[in-house]
Amino acid sequence: MAEKRDYYEVLGVDKGADKKDIKKAYRKLAMKYHPDVSEDKESGEKFKEISEAYAILSDTEKRQTYDQYGHAGMNGFSQEDIYNNVNFDDIFRGFGFGGGQGGNRSGGGFESIFDLFGFGGNTRNGPSQGEDVYYEMNITLEEAALGLEKDIEVPHKKTCPHCQGTKAEPGTDTRTCPECGGSGQVRQVSNTPLGQFATVRPCRTCRGEGQIIDTPCTECHGKGIVKHKSTIHIKIPPGVEDGSRLRVPGEGDVGKRGGPPGDLYVMIGVKKHQLFQREGSDLTYNMPISFVQASLGDTVEAPTLTGAVDLKIPAGTQTGTSFRIRGEGMPHLRWNGKGNLYVKVKIVTPKKLSPKQKELLAEFADVSGEEIYAEDKGFFEKVKEVINH
């Protein structure tokens, strides 16, 4: 199965596009790819693709979810959820594709979309998977290196324990909806300039349930589900990176009409470390050393995530030199072993020197043939020298 394209790319708009620009882009593409006017053999799939993109990006809440999690954030949405509350009538009316042409319709564009591509009908009233739930967790670099197990409390929707999801108060009866005959849907045929469109919409009398509940459950108020916090034990593997997702199957929201539950996605954020910068499995540490240490060489202690190790600084080391300490980085997530720690040295010039230190450095410069500029002259003397030069 081909990977889904980015919704913004599908409509040809920038991520910062407003609703007006998104609607304009969709209208243009709908005129081009509507199956009733296009001769393109793939027009049906293209029209379905742009309609889905428009349904998501024209809805503020769905768009925010998509912007944050991408297509993964849409996994818990059924086709009904995606197109719900989207009004296609004002778009298609100008093209003569439907809307306001005979029949008593509400949201006709929405239902036409379902009927047009064959994912309407009774399938909309069947079982559907529950929505995925996202939980954000921030951990330290040390925790990411060692891995950890933790219990977290996740708020999600579960089947009401009082009515067992029937939505009715236990001991009371439900009756078949007289409007839809228990199907939960009402089918209508509308006449348009391009012919007849058969549309299917949820029954308004029973709200698509097919049953009339006279005595709703007192616990869930007739919803069949309740908000619940579950304690879930999770295992985070060593080497996990910032932005990683940990999937826990079946711990999302309860499914609709007997469908399977969604999944839980734990979004991992790794906090910045005071000493180390991370790049993949490697770590970098910037270590300050003195001019003497760089010139004469020294053995210093370099910090790691597990403790300090000895690092030999050769004589004549230049600032910016990087030393590799094998195996002191982060664990590899997909294979055994660890990355490396790179210690990058920076020579620190002392800001305050004693008279003796100045004397010795001047002597060093004299022996080395370096020219020394006296720093003990007053400001006005220096200005006078510049002027008289």
Residues at the binding site for Zn(2+) are 160, 163, 177, 180, 203, 206, 217, 220
Distance, in Å, from the CA atom of 347 to the CA atom of 59, rounded to the nearest integer, reads: 56
Distance, in Å, from the CA atom of 24 to the CA atom of 11, rounded to the nearest integer, reads: 10
Residue type, 372: I
Which whole-number Å values give the CA distances from 49 to 9, 15, 55, in the listed order?
11, 17, 10
Which whole-number Å values give the CA distances from 121 to 49, 107, 178, 196, in the listed order?
20, 16, 18, 17
Residue type, 208: G
Extract the annotated binding site: 160, 163, 177, 180, 203, 206, 217, 220
Whether the Cβ atoms of residue 379 and residue 367 lie closer than 8 Å to each other: no
Whether the Cβ atoms of residue 369 and residue 375 lie closer than 8 Å to each other: no
Q: What is the CA radius of gyration of the chain?
A: 34
Bridge partners (DSSP) listed for residue 201: 186
> How many C-beta neighbours within 10 Å does residue 379 have?
7
121: Cβ contacts below 8 Å, ≥ 6 apart: 114, 115, 185, 200
Whose CA is closest to 55, among 112, 3, 105? 112
3-state SS, residue 237: coil
DSSP 198-225: EEEEE-TTTTTSSEEESSB-TTTTTSSE
* b/e sequence 247-272, b meaning 16+ C-beta within 10 Å: ebeebbbbbbeeeebbbbbbebebee
Whose CA is closest to 80, among 41, 31, 129? 129
Helices and strands in the chain, H and E counts: 11, 15
